Structure 1
Amino acid sequence: MTTTADFDTLLSAHEDDAFAPDTLAGLDDREEFPDDAVRVLDAAGLPAHYVLPPDGDVSETVRLLRAVARRDLTVAIAHGKTFLGAVPVWVAGTPAQTTRLAERVRGGEPVCWALTERDHGADLFAGEFTAAADGSGDGCGGDGSGDGRGGWRLTGEKWLINNATRSTLACVLARTDPAGGRRGFSVFLVDKRRLPEGAWHNLPKVRTHGIRGADISGFTLDGAPVPADSLIGGQGDGIAVVLKSLQLTRIACTALSLGAADHALRLARDFAAARELYGRRLADVPHVRRILGRAAAAALTAEAVSLLSARSVHTLPGELSAISAIAKAYVPTVTQETLTRLGELLGVRGFLTQPPGGGFAKLERDHRICAIFDGSTVVNRAALLNQMPRLARLLSRRRADTEGLRAATDLAAPLPAFDRDRLALLSVTGCSAVQSLPDAAARVREQGPPEAAALAHRLLAELAGLEAESAAFVPVAGGLPSTAFDLAERYERGYASAACLLLWLENPSLRTGRLGTDGLWLRACLTALLGEDDSDVFDALADVLLDATAPDFTLLGGAA
């Protein structure tokens, strides 16, 4: 397995060829797939980190994908899609299916995840792609009335699928009951190599605003025969398998936003440090420093959310229905807001598409897709609100899985193996991080620097408001009022606050160096989360950013 440091060193060695900024910009301009960069990642062993059982580490996968994304989002999305495509097998496959797929993924074969359809978008229950039991064995009828022991016939179109054309394998959601409904769909792992000639038809690549070089296309099948062992999970389990898979993929997607933030901060830092305005360096202008400091605080907060969420895959799997929705809504949203602010700082430079000096425009438009795939921000906030009554009750009771939470937040603690049997469509234990916020705030008030203690005190007042608002929330049939989404955002900020407090408390290494001394990063993150304007703390954080030489500005050592 590739370590993060070795992987980053290897990618840096290719910044004059496959990962050269002008090379990647040229591919984007011509809308060409980044074949050379993908081959570098394959040779580096990245596909092995897309295999979850038996000893995969989602937090390490996120760190590696982040290293790719900080260089180019198109490459990261194109290559990382295999993790997303394979997850349904890790979640519900048999040991034999898991072993077979793991071997092929490690060998670099791309896997796509075929969920969406042209006329139905993200409405999975409306899907018309069908799988009918094949009448060639066990007396199964060709009308779909059998049990599939003789295999299946797949018919329909899947569209706007990443790597649809380039993949050799596809996890496909298909309607197996004409009536549809929660038990009306199943997931199949389709192997193109086992299909008769002409059974699989690729659809043309779709031109997109961002990630122009990615293989965003589709395919059609017309009675394509697949064997019985292509069914993942049981017949009718498809929606449940997809929802559990999304709990992992949504967290993995945070790597893309973290990498985008790394890239944007580097561009803005270099611009501010080199540019002069009226005889002085742009980086010395107070307003500019405040923009840089706020952007750095937002990036570190997003990292804290991602760190806690990725480790929770292993330590708090039963809570992922809530955690993944929070992470997928919060991290891309706060990153896009940060990119907007940094774009204004860069001015006309932010509109240039070619290096040197360019690259931000491509980065900004590429990142916009991150808030959409695997459930948009609205979809994830709605998913969180559907659980809000239970989350509110558990918040008021102050109950938390302290053991699982401590293992998630102690970055030196070994992670247990991923246990798919603990995944649940709804979290029985709520969200332990938010529910532990009062205790974490109290501990920081006792142990932290005075400035951090004062912020923790103000967090308790915010928490009291969140508790009251969530307790009064009642889901209504026929949709959610706009005010409800404000509650979801508030709950996300509660989770982000808890992530920052708990990581600071449980990791002495995060309390050292320029970022950690006097709780600088913690104070900056909490100040931003509380919506306060403290020029001193943002100026101090801007100092660290401007002096940083590492390619990433991170809690894990790059900004020390």
Structure 2
Amino acid sequence: MTTVAPVRSAARALEAHLADPYDPALPGSFHRALAADRAAAFPADLCRTVQEWGVAELLIPAAHGGRLRGLEEAFELCRVLARRDLTAAIALGSNLLASLPVWLRGSAGQRAAVARLLRSGGYLSFALSERAHGADLVAGGTTGTRDGDTWHLEGEKYLINNTGHAGAATITARTGSGPRGLTLFLAGLPATPPGADAPGDAPADSPGGGPGWHRLPKVATHGLRGSELGGLALTGLTVHRTDAVGRVGSGLETILETFQLTRVLVAGLALGALDTCLRRTLGFARTRRLYDGPVIALEPVARRLVDAFTDLLVGETLAAGACRAAHDRPGQLPLQSLCAKYLIPHRATGAIESLGVVLGARSYLTDPQQEPVFEKMRRDCAVTGLFDGATPVVLGGLADQLAPLAEARAAGRPDTRGMTALFAPDPDGDTGTAPLDPERMALDTDEDAVAAGLDRLAAVLEGPHPPPGLTAARHAELRTLTGRLRTALAALDAQAIALAADPGQRRTGAAYDLAARYTHLHAAGACAWRWLAHREAAPADPAAGPAGTDPAAGLLADGGWLTLCLRRLAGQAGILPPAPALDGLDAAALTTLNDLYDRNLLFSVTGFPLAGRTTDGVS
């Protein structure tokens, strides 16, 4: 374990560098993002600004000469950039996606070539999916034929990002049969201006190179309209044996390892979009008047705001634990990354749709005078659920693990040592991370130490008297919520084992529904661990008041945050009926949300200052 610089320092610095998102003259403004979206143009100015700021060093792990110290740092960068423009965030994020296989399994020469390309302001593509096979990588039709020390690649890759301007690609090709018959190659693409499709000469610093590339036309999409999303046709592309990433035949394993990391980063994209949409809706609800009062005074409006805020808090908790697990408990990542990938984009998209009801017709406006950022964010965020495995792929992967997880819980096997460290508060921003180590990663797991947080929470709440910092009423509600969530988990385990006994049930709707419900119970465990970790780091003292100056500190310390999150997750999992009328806890959450807004802080348990101004007054 090593001590690293503050996790959020890079995100804070990028946010400050991009400055006010409401200044139309700035590359990082909503005005520029919307103009590019209307023209279906790549946000080149914003990407160039971020690259000149030095993002390349944060796409290169410190172990390989860059400045990226941990997955959580990359997650926060995604979140900050996505709150302005998902198109730019995804383009630069795709650089990390395409380079991660090289950082994990590549040779020293490949790592040096990718680092040169990134530092020159170049782009990479991760060329996996195909028109006829989609996400079924094993069925892919692109082939690699060996000829001595070279391979000849034939096939087509489709619906992949950055194809219009990538200088290199990591590409899968079938070099044998079965799951062990896939190989990843790192190959250079010829220099072609964005939007063009004619091959040219490969850049001198690009890996690989040679004839055989053809860029397919850009694909038109509803969201991310400015993305360079397209395809690559390979016609006898020649690559050297040293261009194979890792061992020949190890491609599928490397891809699955990569997805464990990038699926968590996708959650950062979704949370960035939700932050902007929630901020925009809150500003409207505070200033718009209806029935002789502000819209925010209407209970249905306040409910939607509180629920969206809660979804965001749950999402960042789940993602933060997965980011740290990548370094310190990588054996848990096959489960944690799938849960984060399903639940966070799913809930963020649902929350944005709910907030659209508050905005009404304004949520659909494209008039440039109205700064219609909500409408663009809604379209763009909807795409995040498709990245690195669409919902059926993710739920299928989870469904396969449910029975082994249930059996492990029945045997009392989950190892929870050190779990609070994955969710520990970090007032100074310092955290310890071990370097990413692919040799410690696994492709599946039969233990869920995160969900076991509910058991630890139940033990803390046991007894007739509330622990320090909890009122009797809060203690009683938390005990009830925890008990119902644990009962639901036990019932789900029994259903999972019963379904596993019938092989025909493996890919049924029932199995997928179980997997979706499981993500909510897993997230409840993550919230339990976060609250427990907070108590260990700073035991609650009712006389001391909220710690520090963070608006959310009091809500976290008195158990309100945990109650809010568990209520929401229990309702989404069908354990509780729809939320009743707003109560005191909801009012406290709304006060916290307004306080974060007034101080222009990121909507988070540990918010940090945002550049520019709030959106009050934007009609």
TM-score by length of 2: 0.83
Please give the secondary structure, in 1, of the residue aligned with 2:159. Answer: strand
Aligned to 2:484: 458
Q: Which moved more, 1:460-469 or 1:445-454?
A: 445-454
Of 189, 204, 223 in structure 1, the residue corresponding to residue 236 of structure 2 is: 223
1:162–1:542 CA distance, 2 compared to 1 (3 A): same
Aligned to 1:367: 381
1:34-90 residue CA offsets vs partner (Å, 9 max, x unmatched): 000001111222222222362630001000110001111111111111111111112
Of 346, 352, 355 in structure 2, the residue corresponding to residue 333 of structure 1 is: 346
Alpha-carbon distance in 1 for matches of 2:408, 2:482: 21
* Cα contact 2:157–2:232 (8 A) shared by 1: yes
Please give the secondary structure, in 1, of the residue aligned with 2:89. Answer: helix
Of 29, 40, 45 in structure 2, the residue corresponding to residue 31 of structure 1 is: 40
Please give the secondary structure, in 2, of the residue aligned with 1:554. Answer: coil
* Cα contact 1:410–1:507 (8 A) shared by 2: yes
Q: Which structure 2 residues correspond to residues 199-214 of structure 1 after superposition, within 5 A?
A: 199-214=212-227
1:489–1:444 CA distance, 2 compared to 1 (3 A): farther
* Cα contact 2:182–2:252 (8 A) shared by 1: yes
Alpha-carbon distance in 2 for matches of 1:514, 1:274: 27
Alpha-carbon distance in 2 for matches of 1:416, 1:314: 5
Please give the secondary structure, in 1, of the residue aligned with 2:282. Answer: helix
2:62 corresponds to 1:45: no
1:332–1:355 CA distance, 2 compared to 1 (3 A): farther
2:486 corresponds to 1:443: no
* Cα contact 2:170–2:184 (8 A) shared by 1: yes
Q: Which amino acid aligns with 2:246?
A: G
Q: Which structure 2 residues correspond to residues 256-275 of structure 1 after superposition, within 5 A?
A: 256-275=269-288
Of 556, 559, 578 in structure 2, the residue corresponding to residue 516 of structure 1 is: 556
Q: Which moved more, 1:541-550 or 1:102-111?
A: 102-111
* Cα contact 2:188–2:209 (8 A) shared by 1: no
1:559–1:473 CA distance, 2 compared to 1 (3 A): farther
How far has the Cα of 1:444 moved from its partner?
4.7
Q: Which structure 2 residues correspond to residues 11-410 of structure 1 after superposition, within 5 A?
A: 11-13=18-20, 16=23, 17-52=26-61, 54=63, 56-134=69-147, 140=148, 150-177=149-176, 180-192=177-189, 193=202, 198-353=211-366, 354=368, 356-410=370-424
2:525 corresponds to 1:498: yes
Of 10, 19, 23 in structure 2, the residue corresponding to residue 3 of structure 1 is: 10
How far has the Cα of 1:313 moved from its partner?
0.7
1:352–1:11 CA distance, 2 compared to 1 (3 A): same
* Cα contact 1:385–1:484 (8 A) shared by 2: yes
Of 517, 523, 528 in structure 1, the residue corresponding to residue 568 of structure 2 is: 528
* Cα contact 2:420–2:532 (8 A) shared by 1: no
Please give the secondary structure, in 1, of the residue aligned with 2:171. Answer: strand
* Cα contact 1:266–1:552 (8 A) shared by 2: no
1:110–1:485 CA distance, 2 compared to 1 (3 A): same
Aligned to 2:193: none
Q: Which amino acid aligns with 1:553?
A: F
Alpha-carbon distance in 2 for matches of 1:466, 1:154: 46
1:13–1:289 CA distance, 2 compared to 1 (3 A): closer
How far has the Cα of 1:559 moved from its partner?
9.5
Alpha-carbon distance in 1 for matches of 2:461, 2:107: 46
How far has the Cα of 1:360 moved from its partner?
1.2
Of 578, 591, 612 in structure 2, the residue corresponding to residue 543 of structure 1 is: 591
1:47–1:343 CA distance, 2 compared to 1 (3 A): same
Structure 2 residues not aligned, in runs of 5+: 190-201, 541-545, 547-552, 611-619
1:377-410 residue CA offsets vs partner (Å, 9 max, x unmatched): 2211110111122111112233333334233122
Q: Which moved more, 1:94-103 or 1:15-24?
A: 94-103
Aligned to 1:144: none
How far has the Cα of 1:343 moved from its partner?
0.8
Alpha-carbon distance in 2 for matches of 1:435, 1:95: 40
Alpha-carbon distance in 2 for matches of 1:19, 1:355: 18
Alpha-carbon distance in 2 for matches of 1:188, 1:197: 14
1:171–1:201 CA distance, 2 compared to 1 (3 A): same
How far has the Cα of 1:337 moved from its partner?
1.0
* Cα contact 1:38–1:79 (8 A) shared by 2: yes
Please state which structure has a larger fraction of its residues in helix.
1
TM-score by length of 1: 0.92
Structure 1 residues not aligned, in runs of 5+: 135-139, 141-149
> Percent identity over the alignment?
33
2:407 corresponds to 1:425: no
1:196–1:313 CA distance, 2 compared to 1 (3 A): closer
1:242-300 residue CA offsets vs partner (Å, 9 max, x unmatched): 11111111111111111011011101100100100021011111221111111111111
Q: Which amino acid aligns with 2:43?
A: P
How far has the Cα of 1:344 moved from its partner?
1.0
Q: Which moved more, 1:448-457 or 1:494-503?
A: 448-457
Alpha-carbon distance in 2 for matches of 1:100, 1:252: 24
Tell me how large the CA RMSD over aligned residues is.
Answer: 2.2
Aligned to 1:137: none
Please give the secondary structure, in 2, of the residue aligned with 1:269. Answer: helix
Please give the secondary structure, in 1, of the residue aligned with 2:218. Answer: coil
1:472-528 residue CA offsets vs partner (Å, 9 max, x unmatched): 331624752212122112211111101111111112579743432422222111111
Moved over 6 A (4+): none
* Cα contact 1:73–1:211 (8 A) shared by 2: yes
Please give the secondary structure, in 2, of the residue aligned with 1:224. Answer: strand
Please give the secondary structure, in 1, of the residue aligned with 2:19. Answer: helix
